[in-house]
Amino acid sequence: MAVGNAYSNQIQNRNFLAPVGFKFVLNRSPKVAFFSNSSTIPGVSLGVANQATPLKDLPTPGDILEFNDFRLRFLVDENLENYLEIQKWMRALGYPDSLAEIYNFQQDYDFKDSDLMNVYSDATLFVLNSNQSANFKIMFKDMFPYDLSDLQFDATDSDIDYLTAEVSFKYTIYNITDLNGKNL
* 129-165 per-position pLDDT tens digit: 888 899 999 999 999 999 999 999 988 888 888 999 9
CA distances (Å), 38 to each of 7, 87, 130, 160, 164, in order?
Answer: 36, 19, 17, 19, 10
Does the structure show a pLDDT above 80 at 85? yes
- Report the distance separating Cα 146 and Cα 69, nearest Å: 10
Cα-Cα-Cα-Cα dihedral sign, residues 168, 138, 24, 82: negative
Q: 65-79, 85-99, 104-118: lowest mean pLDDT where?
A: 104-118
Q: What is the mean predicted confidence (pLDDT) over 113-122?
A: 68
* 19-38 per-position pLDDT tens digit: 888 999 998 888 888 889 99
The reported pLDDT for the residue numbered 34 is 82
pTM value surpassing 0.75: yes
| Comparison of pLDDT for 118 and 89, the residue scoring more | 89
Please give the single-letter amino acid code of residue 83. Answer: Y
CA distances (Å), 18 to each of 21, 135, 142, 148, in order?
Answer: 6, 12, 27, 26
Cα-Cα-Cα-Cα dihedral sign, residues 66, 26, 175, 71: negative
The reported pLDDT for the residue numbered 40 is 92
**Where does the pLDDT of residue 60 fall: very low under 50, low under 70, confident under 90, or very high at 90 and above?**
very high
Mean pLDDT of the chain: 86
The reported pLDDT for the residue numbered 10 is 78
**Where do the structural domains in the chain lie, given as residue ranges?**
17-43+72-177
